[in-house]
A and B are shown apart, each in its own frame.
Chain A
Amino acid sequence: MTTATAIRLQESALKPEDAVMRQRHPAGEPILFELRQGQTLRIVDTEGNQAADVLFYNRHDPAEHYSATDTMVQQGGIYLTTGSVIRSNEGRPMLTIVADTCGRHDTLGGACAAESNTVRYALQKKYMHSCRDNYLIALQHADVGLGKRDLVPNINFFMNVPVTADGALSFEDGVSGPGKYVEMRAEMDLWVLISNCPQLNNPCNAYNPTAIELLVW
């Protein structure tokens, strides 16, 4: 019997030339965009081992957001891969992962912050750029009613954060590689909030943040 979150590799039949949106998204930067119900989003790890920190919100009700715990409990495990249903805090499906050539994505690592960097690394590193500062400035500019209270635990696509049998959390070298991608179908109208992680203090980006590519069909 396959476990709930075993690696399930699945290639996509969608052609990049048919995409309605196709853009390179540079290292270290945030983006907020709409994804409509029925549309498919592909995120490509163009150079490998790049963490893409992603949050989803119901486009019509910002109080409904991606929920790591609802997603994990309902699928019975921590990793996301093909077939995983990404759920909201209302338990509703927000997206379904329909293709995945990486095989494992993280639900537990969260997003780096200047403040958490002071705790995890060094107080004197507080001025380095971070995902949560990225999230905040994207939401501030968009001014759509989302703010810090909405920065809930996020998905880290292409990141590998296993839990060991004795209950430890470990940050492992990525299972991703150049050109690997994950693709998901929106089950409701969404805001997609991404920080292409600028962290230089741990191997989540292989110490070299690189671009991702975003495609929508």
Chain B
Amino acid sequence: MNLQDLPDPLTSVLPNPPRAEPVDTPELWRRFPAASLAGVDTSRLMWSEVLPGGAHWSWRMPRGSAIRFVALQAGANLSLVLYSALEKLERYNMPDSLKAQHTAHYTRGHVLMSDMGRSMASFTADSLGWHDPLGALLDNEAMTRRYGDKRYEHARNAMHRSGKDGLLIEIGKYGLGKRDLIAPVNLFSQVTVDAQGRFGFTPEHARAGDFVELRFDMDVILAVSSAPHALDPRPAYAPGKVGLAAWRCGAAPANDYCRAFRPENARALHNTDMLYL
């Protein structure tokens, strides 16, 4: 079975599972390109998902769990936001994360820090070398201007949904509103900055099969949208599918790559460890 055989829940109404096997949790990771699961012990996978392009969802991920994210189509983008599940006022903070690590992009070794000086999640594997913290979210105005109007009435579930609306719906499920919507991380996208400070967007930065992995260092609420990147210049609304596969990896060990990557990261992970004495 390959990905092309997988029915898309946004373009067709899937059949319900048979009564004798009511819990329809196919091992969707088996459809991911084999190389995209390099280094993953697939016997330990607890669940896998294929997020259709333009879709949104959220999970509560415990400390010591990991998700391997896989771009299943070229040019995929996955906007994500993180809130502490213990105290939702604590959330991913873009400038604190960037300045502590002297970086304007994320790759293996980096951590996503909260406003409280703690590591919320660590980049533990990456085939791409660059994920975007700057490019914000596609909103409805830009989406309509760029791609025209495609609403439920005519498109049904294949309607266009912006990244901003997708994340607002998801964080709303935890009592969070507009004022809580933070600058996201855009996995699989690359936004460069030139000498004059101008943005550049790398079209189809991610190819099918590219992957990035996050280990969750604290209990988090993770919300994602696979809508197109706000700076994606491609004329068509064509968001790519993204695969997710999750397992329990355990908390960061003493000899962890991300801990050793920078002294700031060691201290941020220490600060998180202090929550779980």
Of A137, A141, A143, A209, chain B has the most CB atoms within 10 Å of the CB of: A137
Q: A128-B157, A136-B168 are in contact. Are A28 and B24 (CB under 8 A)?
A: no
A139 and B172 contact, CB distance less than 8 A: yes
Whether B13 pairs with A201 at a CB distance below 8 angstroms is yes
Does A178 reach chain B (CB closer than 8 Å)?
no
Whole-angstrom CA separation of A129 from B156 in the bound complex? 8
- In the assembled complex, A2 has its CB within 8 A of some CB on chain B: no
A29-B25 CB under 8 A given contacts A125-B14, A140-B178: no
Q: Is B51 an interface residue (CB 8 A)?
A: yes
Q: Given the complex, which residues of A lie within 8 Å of B23, measured CB to CB?
A: 123
Q: Which chain A positions have C-beta within 8 A of B173? A: 136, 148
Give the shortest distance, in Å, between B14 (CB) and chain A (any CB). 6
**A198 beta carbon closer than 8 Å to chain B:** yes
**Beta-carbon contact of A200 and B157 below 8 Å:** yes
Known contacts A28-B151, A28-B159, A149-B175; decide if A127 and B10 are in contact (CB<8 Å): yes
Complex: how many Å from CA A200 to CA B152? 12
Q: Which residue of B lies closest to A208 (CB)?
A: B156
- Contact A29-B177, Cβ < 8 Å, known A122-B16, A128-B10, A200-B157: no
Q: Which residues of A contact B178 (CB under 8 A)?
A: 140-141, 143
B151 touching A124, Cβ below 8 Å: no
Among residues of B, the one whose C-beta sits closest to the C-beta of A25 is B153
Q: Tell me which residues from 1 to 27 in chain B have a Cβ below 8 Å from any Cβ of chain A.
A: 9-10, 13-17, 23-26
Contact of A133 with B169 in the complex, beta carbons under 8 Å: yes
The residue from A121, A123, A127, A136 contacting B52, defined by CB atoms under 8 A apart = A127
Question: Which residues from chain A contact B169 at a C-beta distance below 8 Å?
Answer: 133, 136-137, 140
Is B55 part of the binding interface, using a Cβ–Cβ cutoff of 8 Å?
yes
For chain A residues 120-174, which have a beta carbon within 8 Å of chain B? 121-129, 133, 136-137, 139-141, 143, 147-149
B177, A121: Cβ atoms closer than 8 Å: no
- For residue A192, CB closer than 8 A to chain B, the reply is no
Contact partner of A124 among B24, B57, B168, CB < 8 A? B24
Q: How large is the interface on B (under 10, 10 to 19, 20 to 34, 35 or more residues)?
A: 20 to 34
In Å, the complex CA distance between A127 and B13 comes to 11
Chain A, 14-31, CB within 8 A of any chain B CB: 26-29
The reply on B90 being an interface residue by CB < 8 A is: no
Query: Complex: how many Å from CA A211 to CA B152?
Result: 11
Q: How far in angstroms is the closest Cβ of chain B from A206?
A: 14
Chain A: minimal CB distance from B178 (Å):
5
Q: Which residues of B contact A147 (CB under 8 A)?
A: 172, 175, 177
Most A CB atoms within 10 A — which of B24, B26, B175, B177? B177
Are the CB atoms of A127 and B57 closer together than 8 Å? yes
B165 interface residue (CB < 8 Å to A):
yes
B44 to chain A, nearest CB (A): 20
Distance (whole angstroms) from the CB of A187 to the closest CB of chain B:
29
B9 touches A124 (CB 8 A): yes
- Interface contact B57-A126, CB-CB below 8 Å: yes
**Contact call A123/B10, Cβ cutoff below 8 A:** no
Q: Quick check: B172 and A211 within 8 Å, CB to CB?
A: no
A211, B153: Cα distance in complex, Å: 8
Contact B151 A122 (CB under 8 A): no
Task: Assess A124 versus B159: contact at CB under 8 Å? Given A140-B169, A140-B178, A147-B177.
Answer: no
Complexed CA–CA distance, A177 and B240 (Å): 40
Quick check: B177 and A128 within 8 Å, CB to CB?
no
Chain A's closest residue to B8 (CB) is A127
Bound-state Cα–Cα, A153 to B165, Å: 24
In the A-B complex, list the 5 residue pairs whose CB atoms are closest, starting with the nearest: A28-B152, A136-B172, A26-B153, A140-B168, A127-B55
- Report which A residues bind B (CB closer than 8 A): 26-29, 114, 121-129, 133, 136-137, 139-141, 143, 147-149, 198, 200-201, 209, 211
27 pairs across A/B with beta carbons < 8 Å?
Answer: A26-B153, A28-B156, A28-B159, A29-B151, A29-B152, A121-B16, A122-B15, A122-B16, A122-B17, A123-B23, A124-B24, A127-B10, A127-B51, A127-B157, A129-B157, A136-B172, A137-B165, A139-B172, A140-B168, A140-B172, A140-B177, A143-B178, A148-B173, A148-B175, A198-B156, A200-B13, A209-B156
